[in-house]
Amino acid sequence: MKANMGSIDKIVRILAALILAALYFTHIINGTVAIILLVIAAVFIITSFISFCPLYLPFGISTKKK
């Protein structure tokens, strides 16, 4: 796996995940939508820590500076 995420991309994903988690824990979102959004938040966190987004690969996208 070659890193394809830049630092700004990682920060945005982590912030989005934190916002989704806050919405869930404050009961603003609930039910099936909440579960789906929490899974997306988990994916954001995981991809941020490994600096690799599998969806970028088929499109040849890289936000990492060279």
Q: Is 51 left (phi over 0), alpha (psi -120 to 50) or beta?
A: left
Per-residue confidence (pLDDT) for residue 1, from 0 to 100: 83
Per-residue confidence (pLDDT) for residue 20, from 0 to 100: 97
Q: In sequence order, which residues have a C-beta less than 8 Å from that of residue 13 and are 6 or more positions away?
A: 5, 44, 45, 47, 48
Query: Which residue in this structure is represented by tokens 């070659």?
Result: 2
Q: Which two tokens stand for residue 5?
A: 């995420």
Per-residue confidence (pLDDT) for residue 48, from 0 to 100: 96
pTM score: 0.88
Counting DSSP H helices and E strands in the chain, the numbers are: 2, 0
Compute the average pLDDT of residues 5-10: 95
Instruction: Delimit the domains of the chain by residue range.
Output: 7-50
Q: What is the pLDDT of residues 11-64, one digit of tens each?
A: 999 999 999 999 999 999 999 999 999 999 999 999 999 999 999 999 999 999
Largest CA distance in the chain: 42
Q: Is the pLDDT at 66 greater than 90, yes or no?
A: no
